[in-house]
Structure 1
Amino acid sequence: MTTRAIGEKGSSQVFIQNLKITQLGKSGRIDEAVKVFSQMTQRNTVTYNSMISACAKNGRLGHARHLFDNMSHRNLVSWNTMIAGYLHSNMVEDAYGLFVHMPQRDLFSWTLMITCYTRNGELERARQLFSLLPDKRDPACWNAMIAGYVKKRRFEDAKRMFDEMPVKNLVSWNSMLAGYTKNGEMCFGVKFFEEMPERNVVSWNLMLDGFVQVGELDNAWKFFEKIPEPNVVSWVTMLCGFAQNGKIAQAEDLFEKMPSRNVVAWNVMLAAYVQDRRIDKAAEIFRDMPEMDSVSWTTMINGYVRVGKLDEARQLLNRMPYRNIAAQTAMISGYAHNGRMDEASQIFNQIATRDVVCWNTMIAGYAQCGRMVEALSLFRNMTNKDVVSWNTMITGYAQVGEMDKALQIFEEMGEKNIVSWNSLITGYVQNGLYLDALKSIVIMGQEGKRLDQSTFSCGLSACANLAAFRLGRQLHQMVVKTSYLSDLFVSNALITMYAKCGMVANANLVFEDINHGDIVSWNSLISGYSLNGYGKEAVALFLEMLTEGVNPDQVTFVGVLSACSHSGLVDQGLKLFKSMTEVHLIEPVAEHYACMVDLLGRAGRLEEAFEMVRDMKIKATARIWGALLGASRIHRNLQFGKYATEKLLELEPDKASNYVLLSNMHAEAGRWDEVERVRVLMKESDTDKQPGCSWIEVRNQVHAFLFDDPVQPRTSEICSVLKSLTTEMTNTSSFMASYD
């Protein structure tokens, strides 16, 4: 074989290997691309450029820059490829640093750098660079600037630049049109589209996609039917519109009519069936696909995960021809959601290069399972934390009741978003630290953060539990000013807050202002009536709820039965309890039985209450026995009271109040020997009696008082005032007695 033949053979082999590197890079199989590159005995400039591009597009910028720096011969493509890599990863300063050192630049170099700035939102720097452009006749850089302006919704600046262009091409017109359609400005889009001197299929597809994005499927379909020569993008865009809006039948019909289908079209139908939880149909589509990409495999794996078929998902992941981090993350999410963290960890450890979503999914899994030690270990080892990572840790610690650690994470954060604040505030509310929740809301406002519906809901919940009416009313005023009054969660929280503060009329006004209340709205007001002793009103509201066609749930009946109990509506309560099981087919739980025992007990029908407890299908709880004990004490029935107390002590042996109730019952019956015996039992049981706590709202500030708390400021002053008031009351009492 001649030297020339060997050279031609080697050149051909290098060409094939270069092409393979490019293809592997595009499909995300970067490890295989690296392997091909390392095994090459001959490399040229194209080889390096292909490898730099593959590494940059797959997030390995360090490796790409190392290759670039070690190239013996760089051409203009090498420089542009590296800048494009930085552009892909939004590393603007690194791109600019390379740009200024370029030995020569072409129009593509300038366009790349201007695009770097426009995509990053740095429009002024982009404009400054644009002004330095040697030749402004080519429309490419103009189009980049227009795209940057419309992305930031600066339509006037974009239109001004568009009008100033010396030469416009169809891309210029489409760039301006895309600004309108991609931002939902379809009125401007339609007007601009009609003014275009020429249109191509891209123009039509932009309009089609715009209508799809704003949910105007009728207009989208009208445009689709008018497209002179629709291409596969046109068909896929319309298909996406039907699929994403749950119109599966129309999507199926359109899919069957498509003249040609690419992998994207198949993936759209696959995703539609997955979204509709029709996993068998999705599996059928998956099997019929002529070709599959990483999206196909990931969508199908995620589909199995969504319906809980984790074993099928894992089998599919094992069959996947190449590893894909999105598919692996979907599998981790499925395992984590079902508490199978060891299996999730196994997948996680197999991933060589993890992205932030993968890390966050794993951390969230541990946090949801309450395994905060493992979550913290991962969190500390994570190098690319984002705000989601920090918020996940705050929520995790809040869920396990470790608010001191949640606060520590919160304070360590750099930039906090609204979710960060809400996670902390929600944690305080969930753990009964209502004062801390309100203090955090105040600090949040002082730092200029805008409160949202979640913040208001939590704040109102804290006010409700503290009965802090004035603070709650102030929050209500802020809700009105910030236009969150239409939010159902906020309205429901307002109803509860007013009801727990005893302002039932205010709660009713909020309820009446809700346009379309949900079951929580009705339950909140029914419970509010119950809490404040308005039994008849609660029952009337319940009947109105049925008339409106709202189906009651377990919470509804807890509220209305409790209302009957507090108002002595025995017959009404018994009738409602019967309808709950026979008409509404709701199985009673412990709370319902506790209400009924309390209802019957208060009415003196202790034997019926005891029979209900004895005959019920579920195991009696402390609340049920407590209701019977309370009724027994009211009616001085020592037999039932003693029996209920014995049951209570089995369930709550360390609760001091149970011993106190039994002791008081014996004392009222004059059985002092039994009183002494109960007190001895209480001491022997080493009951853990929590110190009493109360609070009062003074001048829009809530003050908490803990029994025997020396830390409370102005304690001595308060005690002194109380002592003088007591003396004054005693003197007044003596005076009134002598006067009589």
Structure 2
Amino acid sequence: MKNKLRSIGEQGKHVFNQNLQIIHLGKLGKVEDATRVFSHIFHKNLVTYNSMISVFAKNGRISDARQLFDQMTRRNIVSWNTMIAGYLHNNMVEEANQLFEKMPQRDNFSWALMITCYTRKGELEKARELFDLVPDKLDSACWNAMIAGYAKKGQFNDAEKMFEQMPRKDLVSYNSMLAGYTQNGKMHLALQFFERMAERNVVSWNSMVAGFVNSGDLNSAWQIFEKIPYPNSVSWVTMLCGFARHGKITEARRLFDRMPSKNVVSWNAMIAAYVEDLQIDEAVKLFMKMSDKDCVTWTTIINGYIRVGKLDEAREAYNQMPRKDIAAETALMSGLVQNGRIDEASQMFSRMSTRDAICWNSMIAGFSQGGRMDEALDLFRQMPIKNTVSWNTMISGYAQSGKMDRAAMIFQAMGERNVVSWNSLIAGFVQNNLYLDALKSFVLMGQEGKKPDQSTFACALSACANLAALQVGKQLHQCILKSGYVNDLFVSNALIATYAKCGRVQSAEQVFKDIECVDLISWNSLISGYALNGYANEAFKTFEQMLSEGMAPDEVTFIGMLSACSHAGLANRGLELFKSMINDFDIEPLAEHYSCVVDLLGRMGRLEEAFDIVRGMKVKVNAGLWGSLLGACRVHKNLELGRFAAERLLELEPHNASNYITLSNMHAEAGRWKEVERVRVLMREKKAGKLPGCSWIELQNEIQSFLSHDSAKLRHENTQITLNTLSAHMRDKCNISDIKSTFDIL
């Protein structure tokens, strides 16, 4: 009998140790190893099953957890609670609620779980309804769950009222209230509450340190940290991360070196701080000193190498990694994508046994950014569960490829759209010069109840600028004032460009003056605005002011300045500026700079100089540059040089009809009719077509567009009536006896 009892005892001890092993492996994410241990236990008990259910659930394998739960012939209340907790961990509220309803009996933990489930989802009314049904109101767990829910949502009055009504308050209750204040940035209230607490533990102190760190008040965070009676690893890591996040790497390292004992989390935090500050050598030094590295350590160092462009070192670290996880694989794959090594990334993706949404989206984005939309679409269709990022990536990809019809189709097929979805569509329309569609989408976005952000407003303003739609731009300005984005630099710069392109230079100046801290784009937008509207003197004054304030110009600045010189006919000054750009500011000229100089000299009739500059260019000549030279040749009737420019232009744009027409007109003006016929034949052979003319006008705050030969917009009778009325007014006011022939021509 004694031997039998001893055998049972040994067996129970063995099962107990195996249960602990399952839990330990689950914490390390080694689900397959845990499953193997579970399958080899001959005498499984309730703890064995409950432990394995928890391992499955916490590692995202909720269906496996439920399958095991359903297989159990006997369950206790812990089994039910473990399964509900698993659903809660995976944000599956409805499934958790269905299981809760089926429970044969419930304890206080069951009720607290479901209340927490609803509070985490922000469904506080449902949580309160459940709380009112709790039979044992003396237990503090349910009270604490409700307090935490209210506090997290910032409903402090409800949280405080429930806190005061609690029959028995414990330290968790106080910490729940405190966390509500700190997590919402209410540090003044948090400090007052903290000082009133009769009892505190390290969680209380850590909550205060984290609150001040998140608020950017490192001095207060440090003062609280130094007063912690017995700081734990969370205390040290929270303060260390606070220093790192705000760029105080020296202070972070000093704190790290002071730590009495360092766990893997603290090492990872310090390495991540160096990686964030791009000090990869220091990160590697720490990495090499670590005795026990986990998956986070390896992934952090791989990311560090990728961020500084050391992709081969990142791959080597990945190859040395003893146990590769999906985070490390995705990090390396994303690095390959960022460096344009799409095929290598694709091969790696195909070899991955497990893929999450981040992994799928990274690969889809890689194909999209490389213009390989067929492959992106193929991957998108294979993706088992698509999230909003997946759909938005496809919209942006098609937009960048100039396929806005496909982008719009993807957008329409989306189930739920967010602001990024609308921004991707609107930005796509702007990028592809479909400005009216961009503004229409902006209106539809508001009708759907989505609030625009700074990117939305900037894109809409860009559309207005390109349409010269001043009234719509003004309306957008009013919306921006109401929405609170008026101080956003991105939006302010777009406003400057819009007013400038609409000819309202003074309004552009006012927006510029209202910006607290202007950047280079602000200066460039104003200078380009002056140039566009012929205010060369103001452009030069702004340029000089910009230099005096220590702002270094870039390529865009000089495009604006050279354009100002061109419009004002300041050839010599423009050439001096061009030389200064190269010699004084060490800026390599782009094709756009040469186009401005050629246009400038062409306007002044200095065609040979313009041609010499083109021949001496270090960059590839584009169509715009030859077009400027051809236009100048026509104005100054230089047929020989014009013909040469036209031939180069026709090589770059063989299907652009306007180039043929310009050259044909030049020959016609010179009386060379055979050449005129030759150009027209060549035009037919190349099948050069002319895009239909498009005009637009603002009427009653709406933009009306008109395409030539658009039968939908032809109103012959109305047009005739209007012309007759105008004729009568002109006769009366101008004493013109007969202008019928003029309107007949029109």
TM-score per shorter chain, which class?
Answer: over 0.9
Mark the CA change 1:653 to 1:729 in structure 2 (over 3 Å): closer, same or farther.
Answer: farther
- Are 2:274 and 1:273 equivalent residues in the alignment? yes
Query: What is the SS of the residue equivalent to 2:216?
Result: coil
Query: What is the SS of the residue equivalent to 1:113?
Result: helix
**2:39 maps to what in 1?**
38
- Are 2:231 and 1:235 equivalent residues in the alignment? no
Structure 1 residues 394-431: Cα deviation after superposition (integer angstroms, max 9, x where no partner): 11111111211211121122222111111111111111
Mapping of residues 32-431 of structure 1, within 5 Å: 32-431=33-432
Amino acid at match of 1:680: V
Pairwise CA distance, 1:719: 5.6
Pairwise CA distance, 1:724: 5.3
- Are 2:713 and 1:713 equivalent residues in the alignment? yes
Amino acid at match of 1:505: Q
Measured in 2, the distance between the counterparts of 1:683 and 1:129 equals: 78
Query: What is the SS of the residue equivalent to 1:476?
Result: helix
Pairwise CA distance, 1:715: 4.0
**1:633 maps to what in 2?**
634
**2:625 maps to what in 1?**
624
Measured in 2, the distance between the counterparts of 1:555 and 1:310 equals: 32
Structure 1 residues 601-626: Cα deviation after superposition (integer angstroms, max 9, x where no partner): 21122222222222222233222222
**1:528 maps to what in 2?**
529
Mark the CA change 1:681 to 1:356 in structure 2 (over 3 Å): closer, same or farther.
Answer: closer
Please say if residues 279 and 303 of structure 1, whose CA atoms lie closer than 8 Å, have aligned partners that are also in contact.
Answer: yes
Measured in 1, the distance between the counterparts of 2:730 and 2:504 equals: 35
The range that moved more, 130-139 or 86-95, is: 130-139
Amino acid at match of 1:263: V
Amino acid at match of 1:410: F
Please say if residues 706 and 713 of structure 2, whose CA atoms lie closer than 8 Å, have aligned partners that are also in contact.
Answer: no
Mark the CA change 1:676 to 1:345 in structure 2 (over 3 Å): closer, same or farther.
Answer: closer
Mark the CA change 1:258 to 1:29 in structure 2 (over 3 Å): closer, same or farther.
Answer: same
Pairwise CA distance, 1:722: 7.7
Mark the CA change 1:347 to 1:42 in structure 2 (over 3 Å): closer, same or farther.
Answer: farther
Amino acid at match of 1:145: M
Amino acid at match of 2:56: C
Measured in 2, the distance between the counterparts of 1:314 and 1:499 equals: 50
Mark the CA change 1:111 to 1:723 in structure 2 (over 3 Å): closer, same or farther.
Answer: closer
Pairwise CA distance, 1:723: 7.3
The range that moved more, 661-670 or 78-87, is: 661-670
Mark the CA change 1:615 to 1:366 in structure 2 (over 3 Å): closer, same or farther.
Answer: closer
Query: What is the SS of the residue equivalent to 1:159?
Result: helix
Pairwise CA distance, 1:71: 0.9
Amino acid at match of 2:100: F
Measured in 2, the distance between the counterparts of 1:490 and 1:459 equals: 10
Measured in 2, the distance between the counterparts of 1:145 and 1:544 equals: 59
Measured in 2, the distance between the counterparts of 1:527 and 1:677 equals: 41
Measured in 1, the distance between the counterparts of 2:368 and 2:568 equals: 44
CA RMSD of aligned residues (A): 2.3
Mark the CA change 1:698 to 1:132 in structure 2 (over 3 Å): closer, same or farther.
Answer: closer
Pairwise CA distance, 1:232: 2.2
Measured in 2, the distance between the counterparts of 1:718 and 1:510 equals: 42
Pairwise CA distance, 1:449: 2.2
**1:556 maps to what in 2?**
557
Pairwise CA distance, 1:377: 2.4
Pairwise CA distance, 1:148: 0.9
Measured in 2, the distance between the counterparts of 1:641 and 1:374 equals: 45
Mark the CA change 1:733 to 1:162 in structure 2 (over 3 Å): closer, same or farther.
Answer: same
Pairwise CA distance, 1:382: 2.6
Query: What is the SS of the residue equivalent to 2:487?
Result: coil
Measured in 1, the distance between the counterparts of 2:739 and 2:56 equals: 94
Pairwise CA distance, 1:355: 2.5
Query: What is the SS of the residue equivalent to 1:694?
Result: strand
Structure 1 residues 465-485: Cα deviation after superposition (integer angstroms, max 9, x where no partner): 111111111111211222211
Please say if residues 727 and 739 of structure 2, whose CA atoms lie closer than 8 Å, have aligned partners that are also in contact.
Answer: no
Pairwise CA distance, 1:438: 0.8
The range that moved more, 314-323 or 326-335, is: 314-323
Runs of 5+ consecutive residues of structure 1 not aligned to the other structure: none
Query: What is the SS of the residue equivalent to 1:697?
Result: strand
The range that moved more, 490-499 or 383-392, is: 383-392
Aligned residues: 737
**1:24 maps to what in 2?**
25
Measured in 1, the distance between the counterparts of 2:621 and 2:318 equals: 47
**1:592 maps to what in 2?**
593
The range that moved more, 678-687 or 561-570, is: 678-687
Measured in 1, the distance between the counterparts of 2:403 and 2:615 equals: 40
Measured in 1, the distance between the counterparts of 2:609 and 2:729 equals: 46
The range that moved more, 48-57 or 540-549, is: 540-549
Runs of 5+ consecutive residues of structure 2 not aligned to the other structure: 742-746
Mapping of residues 722-733 of structure 1, within 5 Å: none
Measured in 2, the distance between the counterparts of 1:728 and 1:585 equals: 62
The range that moved more, 407-416 or 461-470, is: 407-416
Pairwise CA distance, 1:90: 1.9
Measured in 2, the distance between the counterparts of 1:723 and 1:186 equals: 71
Pairwise CA distance, 1:290: 2.4
Measured in 2, the distance between the counterparts of 1:227 and 1:588 equals: 60
Amino acid at match of 2:142: C
Measured in 2, the distance between the counterparts of 1:141 and 1:340 equals: 53
Measured in 2, the distance between the counterparts of 1:376 and 1:614 equals: 44
Give the alignment's TM-score, normalised by structure 1.
Answer: 0.95
Pairwise CA distance, 1:273: 1.0
Amino acid at match of 2:278: R
Mark the CA change 1:460 to 1:367 in structure 2 (over 3 Å): closer, same or farther.
Answer: same
Pairwise CA distance, 1:42: 3.4
Amino acid at match of 1:519: L
Mark the CA change 1:682 to 1:383 in structure 2 (over 3 Å): closer, same or farther.
Answer: closer
Query: What is the SS of the residue equivalent to 2:703?
Result: strand
Query: What is the SS of the residue equivalent to 2:698?
Result: strand
Pairwise CA distance, 1:592: 0.9
Pairwise CA distance, 1:187: 0.1
Please say if residues 527 and 560 of structure 2, whose CA atoms lie closer than 8 Å, have aligned partners that are also in contact.
Answer: yes
Query: What is the SS of the residue equivalent to 2:230?
Result: coil
